[in-house]
């Protein structure tokens, strides 16, 4: 075997050496293009047609030279350079110095010496090809950056052009478009954003549709400069003209349109999906996949990156690609690979790898088959827990090599019974457990030889079976896995793939399951778009996964699962897990911070009943002692509020409440309202927690309506909805960005120093808009709706600096995507384009979403398909919503935000038997703006529709146009915000809640130990009281405090009691007390739990006193934290308004009498506030607004000034009445 590997390496080196030595300069050919043929193909290799012309300008039928303002990079000449060379050296995710196929390409390059719009059309081939109805032009293009212009996209303004015998050209045919709908001209190709720089891109043009009957006489390459004074360079490969290979002849069902290889031509350095081509069933326990790199933990199928010397991909094994406890790509594995070696096969993965051609590979969700170049063939299909594989050999003997990802596994062979068993381990970083997956397999042929294989450090996990294939050439392997035991794996196998179950049976069943899911949506679109859509839908349905197994029978199932989230109860054995076995149908694997954005909303939209079952599966794990992921909360709450049935809603609320109200690592956020800078990613954590609080508060409001007698739901809702404005704590006005804060509240120095635009990181830009729950509040931070629009425009147009591109992967992605700082693969990204809706600029949402759909999902046919990593299938889910023109912007709201449909017609077959038809007959890359919307014949003016409306089915019609309209721009049309639109542009509103106890002049506590612990923002400390009925008094000197809520946190110790009955009192002199709130029979469900309590009709007081009248048990009373919450800075708000009035007077925007009237009214409002007369203060502020809006002021004060003054007045009113 060593000799075989050595021979393989030597032959490869010789091939490369010969190729290099024969190409000292530009490559030359002796062959010529054939004439009179109905097809043409060149890969620019030795036996392909030679170029008829080199660096030769095309001449039109009127004798005009078709080149202007373009020169070679050398500067000598009057057109671009076009010649055959070795392939590019530094493309992303591609072999170096290779073409798309083979090793040679057509290189184009040049310098723009003229203005933008300069052009060059060079002749390449002289042909004679009649165009028939199914003729198609296809080619591959790789535009590159140049040494001079390292970030310019100029090279993407290129296309292959055709000259016809009648004197016309392909670029002149306006209806000639590529598979993405963009015109086949160099200028439009460059503008489209679909030609990704430094990568291979495929272009397909249906010639039969636009040029049937014409005759192609010349093949050209066309370039048009997008800007002046730039350089460009790129490569062309595999030009093909002939019968279409992209038509969907036998793709009659949705699953047949799926391309599971999308997203595999990817890498960590430049992600185009980072996906695995999974074969199995929707939400399966495991999946199987071909592995090009069997040593990889994550990207096991890097499409063409590891190609052989002939530039062909090689498979190293067929691998279990995802186990039920897959976390962050680290997974248990089992690998199988056929070998025709006559002796003992090798464990070396490179030695056993087999090359294949893409044309000999069939990859669908329900089956995979490949014929290798040596004639051997593999076929594979899978169920949830099991798989069946058929291997066809060509020689007298054949082997199946069994392997593991690494040495952490074991194999036991039973050749006498034609079976094997074993396990594979991974280390769980959260529990420290060694999680073990078991497997059992059988083959249908006698085993002639077997044994373990050594030499690669995986001796106990690597082995083989040998078979006599001299007459019967096929061997079938049936295998199943389990997280419980070997015996359960065997049971899983017999339950799902019995002895008499064929490969065709498994394929048929899996295909049916996939079509049941994918047929929820039907499209009116082209083949390429349908493939993209259903491929994304397939990937969305790959997770979450079944985590349970049937330990009973098919007739009487008993569902159990190995709980890997808690410490093991015993050591794992070779036969059985040491993890506790629990009852229930659990689901696992959902990267919730990502999947919550699009995937779970997609499930809720398409399959509400299934969604309810999936959620309950996660809740079962929680109920049985497992952890609840806080990032799951928004997805699950959103599903319930949008009408998903069957969810154990109270258990869900309990899970969400526990994860939030018991601080744990997030205790500083719980009390201070932000995550400090000494914690990783503190700004993102703060913004994310604010969003999670919105979902929790919304679910609390939902339950408060359902259970009106349970006051805690209403209190919790009021508290967490206010907490969802904690994002305000981390907005740095001096930077005009969100920024991290230290524990003492000061801004982190390094952030404060980053005051220039170019120094702000990609993360800062992404965080700049991550407030979907309060778009108006966000707008106010940027100066109002107009300011939010400007900030978003800046984000989508500002390119990352060269330094950032060279050092940050996100910046590199943003540069390639060519939408400013935008990338799609961070959790906040899907919402960004929709934030324009809050700024009354829906047309910008419509345009931006279409740009994202056009640019970020290209290249699926060649293994790309995404621009970014499809973590948690978030990008796949985004495509669904981008296509519908609806988006779940606010998780925890009943509404969907409206953008614009991507397709002309889309039908959603709702689970209740009704259909939702989304029609946009004029939608296109030109007609991308909404002019009018109707639903079931009724005008829709708002930019949202409720889930309840959509669930009834009907027809949603979009009238589209080429220019922005006024649709959706009025104040009543915008999505709901926590902040009132009447405050638009206010400089001091909204405000987060302030804990007044941190500003108390004096705190008096009766008979207590560690009194300071009561207000130290630390739930791990507590104040213990000697008195069974203690009182805690707070005194404020500077001004009265209007407490609207208060919180109590139970102690962490189990040897203490909690407050059960108490009253909160308020006073302005410390002698005469008013009862503010009374509570009885209160319980704290968990230790260190924070509970909030609302105050009805709150008033300002200078003193507050909490008097506990009964504790929960006989242990000493202890309280960890006590907060008095309200809004501070109201007095300063009045002062700011007064200064602004004077400022506008100095600018002559207000007359002297106007200024006096406004100032007098404002003074009366402030005096009433300071005296504690809130109703009078509100009355005067309303009078103030009426003055601003009076005719007198309309005639003098500019509208912008009136709006600003009015916004601040409304802000004060909101603060006084909340």
pLDDT digits (tens, 9 = 90+) for 278-319: 999 999 999 999 999 999 888 999 999 889 999 999 999 999
More confident residue, 368 or 324: 368
- How many angstroms separate the Cα of 701 from the Cα of each of 694, 717, 772? 10, 5, 18
d(CA 121, CA 79): 8
Specify the pLDDT at position 248: 52
Specify the pLDDT at position 1214: 95
Residue 14 pLDDT exceeds 80: no
Helices 503-518 and 527-540 pack at an angle, to 10 degrees, of: 100
Note the pTM of the prediction, 2 decimals.
0.94
Specify the pLDDT at position 435: 87
Q: Which two tokens stand for residue 278?
A: 């999974």
Specify the pLDDT at position 32: 43
| Topology annotation, domain 257-540 | Beta-galactosidase; Chain A, domain 5 (2.70.98)
Q: Considering only CA atoms, which of 1002, 898, 997 is closest in space to residue 956?
A: 898
Residue given tokens 């919402």 in the structure block: 831
d(CA 880, CA 883): 5
> 972 by DSSP, 3-state: which?
helix
Beta-carbon neighbour count of residue 176 at 10 Å?
20
Reported as a single tens digit per residue, the pLDDT across 511-529 is 999 999 999 999 999 899 9
Specify the pLDDT at position 760: 53
Q: Considering only CA atoms, which of 391, 358, 367 is closest in space to residue 287?
A: 367
Reported as a single tens digit per residue, the pLDDT across 389-443 is 999 999 999 999 999 999 999 999 999 999 999 999 987 666 566 789 999 999 9
What is the mean predicted confidence (pLDDT) over 172-195? 96
Residue 170 pLDDT exceeds 50: yes
Backbone angles phi, psi at 584, to 5 degrees: 135, 165
Beta bridge partners of 929: 961
What is the mean predicted confidence (pLDDT) over 168-192? 97
Q: Considering only CA atoms, which of 422, 326, 313 is closest in space to residue 361?
A: 313
Lowest mean pLDDT: which of 326-340, 924-938, 1052-1066, 1173-1187? 326-340
Q: Considering only CA atoms, which of 143, 139, 171 is closest in space to residue 40?
A: 139
Per DSSP, 330 falls in state B
Specify the pLDDT at position 1194: 53
d(CA 403, CA 405): 7
Confidence of residue 325 (pLDDT cuts 50, 70, 90): very low
What is the mean predicted confidence (pLDDT) over 115-131? 97
- Do 901 and 958 meet the contact criterion of CB atoms below 8 Å apart? yes
Task: Tell me the percentage of the chain whose pLDDT exceeds 90.
Answer: 85
d(CA 800, CA 822): 10
d(CA 217, CA 195): 27
Specify the pLDDT at position 759: 44
d(CA 1124, CA 1129): 15
CA atoms within 13 A on the CB side of 272: 31
- Do 275 and 876 meet the contact criterion of CB atoms below 8 Å apart? no
Backbone angles phi, psi at 1099, to 5 degrees: -130, 160
Q: Where are the domains of the chain?
A: 2-243, 257-540, 994-1126, 1130-1217
Q: Is 311 left (phi over 0), alpha (psi -120 to 50) or beta?
A: left
Specify the pLDDT at position 249: 55
Specify the pLDDT at position 597: 98
Q: Which two tokens stand for residue 525?
A: 């679109």
Residue 157 pLDDT exceeds 80: yes
Q: Is 421 left (phi over 0), alpha (psi -120 to 50) or beta?
A: beta
Reported as a single tens digit per residue, the pLDDT across 202-240 is 999 999 999 999 999 999 999 999 999 999 999 999 999
Beta-carbon neighbour count of residue 455 at 10 Å?
12
d(CA 377, CA 374): 9
Residue 250 pLDDT exceeds 90: no
Task: Tell me the percentage of the chain whose pLDDT exceeds 70.
Answer: 94
Residue 598 pLDDT exceeds 50: yes
Specify the pLDDT at position 687: 97
Specify the pLDDT at position 322: 64
d(CA 983, CA 475): 73
Task: Return mean pLDDT, the chain.
Answer: 92
Specify the pLDDT at position 36: 54
Q: Which two tokens stand for residue 960?
A: 């589209």
> What's the CATH architecture for 2-243?
Sandwich (2.60)
Specify the pLDDT at position 1190: 82
What is the mean predicted confidence (pLDDT) over 880-906? 98
What is the mean predicted confidence (pLDDT) over 722-729? 98
Residue 648 pLDDT exceeds 90: yes
User: 994-1126: same fold as 2-243?
Assistant: yes
> 539 by DSSP, 3-state: which?
helix
Specify the pLDDT at position 477: 99
Residue 79 pLDDT exceeds 80: yes
Task: Give the 3-state DSSP-derived string for 378-429, with helices as H, strands as E and coil as C.
Answer: EEEEECCCEEEEEEECCCCEEEEEEECCCCCEEEEEEHHHCEEEEEEEEECC
Sign of CA dihedral 544, 550, 554, 557: negative
d(CA 768, CA 781): 10
DSSP 1142-1173: HHHHHTTSS-HHHHHHHHHHHHHHHHHHHTT-
- Do 846 and 928 meet the contact criterion of CB atoms below 8 Å apart? yes
Specify the pLDDT at position 321: 73
- Say which residues have a Cβ less than 8 Å from residue 244's Cβ, sequence separation at least 6: 134, 135, 136, 206, 208
d(CA 955, CA 949): 11
What is the mean predicted confidence (pLDDT) over 890-897? 98
More confident residue, 786 or 7: 786
Backbone angles phi, psi at 996, to 5 degrees: -65, -25
Q: Which two tokens stand for residue 282?
A: 């929707």
Specify the pLDDT at position 726: 98
Specify the pLDDT at position 1117: 96
Pairing status of strand 915-919 against strand 954-961: parallel
Confidence of residue 3 (pLDDT cuts 50, 70, 90): very low
Q: Considering only CA atoms, which of 204, 207, 136 is closest in space to residue 173?
A: 207
Q: Considering only CA atoms, which of 274, 255, 355 is closest in space to residue 313?
A: 355
d(CA 565, CA 431): 7
H-run or E-run covering 599: helix 592-606
Reported as a single tens digit per residue, the pLDDT across 977-1000 is 999 999 999 999 999 999 999 999
3-state helix, strand, coil in the chain (%, to 5): 30, 25, 40
Confidence of residue 12 (pLDDT cuts 50, 70, 90): very low
Specify the pLDDT at position 245: 81
Beta-carbon neighbour count of residue 427 at 10 Å?
11
> What's the CA angle centered on 637, arms 634 and 642, to 5 degrees?
115
Residue 38 pLDDT exceeds 80: yes
Backbone angles phi, psi at 1107, to 5 degrees: -115, 115
Lowest mean pLDDT: which of 739-753, 1113-1127, 1141-1155? 739-753
In CATH, the number for domain 994-1126 is 2.60.120.260
What is the mean predicted confidence (pLDDT) over 87-109? 95
Beta bridge partners of 934: 939, 957
Q: In what order do the strands lie in the sheet with 1103-1111?
A: 1002-1005, 1031-1035, 1103-1111, 1059-1067, 1074-1079
- How many angstroms separate the Cα of 583 from the Cα of each of 319, 589, 629, 745? 29, 18, 20, 48
Residue 1 pLDDT exceeds 90: no
- Do 549 and 487 meet the contact criterion of CB atoms below 8 Å apart? no
Lowest mean pLDDT: which of 247-256, 359-368, 591-600, 943-952? 247-256
Beta-carbon neighbour count of residue 315 at 10 Å?
23
CA atoms within 13 A on the CB side of 1115: 12
């Amino acid at each position: 075997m060593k000799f075989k590997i050595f021979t393989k390496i030597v032959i490869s080196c010789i091939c490369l050496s010969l190729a290099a030595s024969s190409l000292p300069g530009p490559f030359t050919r002796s062959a010529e293009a054939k004439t009179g043929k109905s097809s043409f193909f060149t890969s620019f290799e030795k036996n392909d047609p030679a170029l008829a012309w080199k660096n030769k300008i095309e001449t039109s039928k009127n004798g005009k030279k078709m080149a202007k303002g373009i020169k070679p990079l050398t500067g000598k000449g009057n057109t671009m350079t076009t010649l055959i060379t070795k392939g590019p050296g530094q493309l992303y995710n591609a072999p170096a110095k290779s073409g798309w196929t083979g090793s040679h390409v057509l290189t184009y390059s040049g310098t723009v010496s003229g203005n933008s719009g300069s052009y060059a059309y060079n002749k390449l081939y002289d042909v004679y090809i009649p165009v028939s109805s199914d003729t198609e032009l296809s080619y591959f293009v790789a535009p590159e950056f140049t040494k001079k212009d390292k970030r310019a996209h100029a090279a993407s303004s290129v296309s292959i052009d055709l000259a016809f015998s009648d004197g016309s050209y392909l670029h002149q045919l306006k209806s000639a478009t590529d598979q993405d709908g963009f015109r086949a001209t160099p200028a439009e190709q460059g503008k489209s954003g679909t030609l990704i720089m430094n990568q291979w891109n495929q272009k397909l043009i249906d010639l039969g549709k636009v040029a049937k009957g014409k005759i192609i006489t010349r093949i050209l390459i066309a370039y048009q400069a997008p800007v002046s004074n730039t350089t460009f360079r790129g490569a062309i490969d595999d030009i093909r003209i002939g019968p279409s290979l992209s038509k969907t002849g036998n793709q009659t069902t949705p699953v047949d349109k799926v391309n599971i290889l999308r997203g595999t031509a990817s890498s960590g350095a430049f992600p185009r999906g980072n996906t695995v081509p999974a074969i199995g069933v929707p939400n399966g326990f495991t999946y199987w996949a071909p592995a090009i790199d069997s040593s990889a933990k994550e990207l096991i199928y890097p499409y063409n990156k590891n190609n052989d010397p002939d530039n062909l991909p090689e498979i190293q094994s067929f691998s279990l690609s995802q186990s039920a406890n897959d976390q962050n790509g680290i997974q248990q594995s089992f690998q199988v690979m056929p070998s025709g070696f006559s002796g003992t096969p090798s464990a070396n993965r490179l030695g056993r790898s087999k090359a294949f051609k893409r044309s000999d590979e069939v990859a669908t969700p329900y089956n995979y088959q490949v014929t290798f170049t040596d004639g051997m063939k593999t076929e594979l299909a899978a169920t949830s827990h099991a798989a069946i594989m058929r291997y066809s050999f060509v020689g007298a003997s054949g082997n199946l090599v069994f392997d593991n990802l690494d040495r952490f596994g074991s194999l036991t062979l039973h050749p006498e019974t034609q079976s094997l068993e074993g396990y594979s381990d991974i280390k769980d970083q959260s529990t420290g457990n060694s999680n073990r997956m078991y497997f059992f397999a059988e083959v249908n042929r006698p085993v002639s030889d077997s044994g373990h294989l050594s030499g690669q450090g995986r001796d106990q996990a690597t082995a083989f079976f040998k078979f006599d294939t001299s007459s019967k050439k096929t061997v079938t392997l049936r295998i199943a896995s389990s997280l419980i035991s070997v015996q359960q794996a065997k049971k899983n196998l017999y339950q799902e793939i019995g002895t008499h179950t064929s490969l065709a049976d498994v394929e048929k069943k899996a295909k049916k399951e996939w079509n049941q899911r994918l047929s929820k949506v039907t499209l009116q679109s082209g083949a390429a778009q349908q493939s993209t859509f259903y491929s994304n839908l397939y990937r969305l349905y790959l997770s979450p996964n079944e985590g349970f197994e049937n330990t009973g029978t098919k007739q009487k199932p008993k569902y159990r699962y190995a709980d890997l989230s808690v410490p093991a109860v015993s050591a794992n054995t070779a036969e059985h897990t040491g993890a506790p076995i629990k009852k229930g149908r659990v689901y696992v694997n959902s990267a919730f911070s990502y999947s919550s954005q699009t995937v779970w909303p997609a499930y809720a939209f398409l399959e509400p009943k299934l969604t309810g079952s999936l959620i309950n599966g996660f809740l079962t794990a929680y109920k049985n002692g497992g952890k609840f992921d806080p990032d799951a909360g928004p997805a699950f709450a959103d599903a319930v509020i949008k009408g998903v049935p069957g969810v154990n809603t109270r258990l869900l609320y309990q899970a969400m409440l526990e994860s939030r109200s018991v601080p744990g690592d997030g205790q500083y956020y719980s009390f201070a309202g932000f995550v400090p800078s000494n914690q990783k990613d503190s700004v993102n954590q703060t913004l994310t927690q604010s969003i999670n609080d919105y979902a929790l508060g919304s679910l609390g409001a939902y339950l408060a309506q359902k259970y009106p007698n349970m006051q805690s739901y209403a209190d919790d809702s009021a508290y967490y909805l206010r907490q969802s404005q904690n994002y305000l704590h981390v907005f740095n006005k001096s930077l005009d960005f969100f920024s991290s804060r230290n524990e003492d509240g000061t801004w982190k120095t390094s952030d404060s120093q980053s005051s220039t635009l170019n120094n702000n990181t990609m993360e800062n830009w992404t965080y700049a808009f991550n407030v979907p729950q309060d778009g108006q509040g966000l707008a106010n931070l940027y100066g109002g709706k107009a300011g939010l629009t400007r900030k978003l425009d800046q984000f989508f147009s500002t390119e990352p600096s060269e330094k950032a591109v060279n050092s940050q992967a996100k910046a590199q992605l943003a540069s390639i995507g060519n939408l400013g700082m935008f990338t799609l693969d961070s959790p906040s990204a899907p919402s960004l384009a929709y934030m324009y809706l809050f700024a009354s600029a829906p047309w910008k949402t419509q345009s931006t979403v279409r740009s994202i759909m056009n640019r970020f999902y290209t290249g699926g046919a060649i293994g790309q398909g995404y621009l970014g990593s499809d973590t948690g299938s978030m990008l796949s889910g985004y495509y669904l919503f981008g296509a519908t023109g609806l988006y779940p912007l606010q998780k925890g709201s009943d509404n969907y935000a409206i953008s614009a449909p991507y397709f002309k017609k889309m039908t959603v077959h709702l689970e209740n038997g009704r259909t939702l038809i989304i029609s946009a007959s004029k939608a296109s890359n030109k007609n991308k703006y909404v002019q009018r919307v109707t639903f079931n014949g009724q005008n829709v003016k708002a930019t949202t529709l409720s889930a309840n409306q959509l669930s009834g089915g009907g027809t949603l019609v979009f009238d589209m146009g080429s220019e922005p309209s006024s649709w959706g721009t009025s104040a009543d049309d915008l999505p709901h915000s926590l902040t009132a639109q009447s405050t638009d542009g206010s400089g001091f509103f909204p405000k987060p809640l302030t804990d007044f106890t941190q500003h108390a002049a004096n705190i008096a506590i009766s008979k207590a130990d560690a009194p300071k612990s009561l207000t130290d923002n630390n739930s791990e400390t507590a104040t213990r009281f000697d008195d069974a009925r203690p009182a805690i008094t707070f005194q404020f000197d500077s001004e009265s405090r209007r407490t609207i809520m208060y919180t109590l946190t139970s102690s962490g110790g189990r040897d203490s009691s909690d407050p059960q009955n108490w009253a909160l009192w308020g006073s302005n002199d410390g002698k005469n007390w008013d009862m503010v709130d009374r509570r009885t029979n209160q319980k704290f469900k968990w230790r260190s739990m924070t509970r909030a309590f609302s105050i009805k009709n709150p008033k300002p007081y200078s003193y507050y006193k909490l008097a506990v009248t009964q504790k929960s048990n006989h242990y000493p009373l202890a309280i960890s934290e006590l907060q008095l919450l309200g809004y501070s800075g109201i007095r300063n708000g009045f002062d700011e308004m007064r200064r602004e009035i004077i400022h506008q007077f100095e600018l002559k925007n207000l007359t002297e009498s106007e200024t006096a009237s406004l100032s007098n009214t404002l003074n009366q409002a402030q005096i009433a506030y300071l005296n504690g007369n809130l109703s009078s203060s509100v009355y005067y502020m309303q009078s103030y607004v009426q003055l601003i809006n009076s005719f007198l002021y309309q005639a003098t004060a500019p509208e912008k000034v009136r709006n600003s003054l009015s916004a601040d007045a409304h802000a004060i009113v909101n603060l006084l009445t909340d």
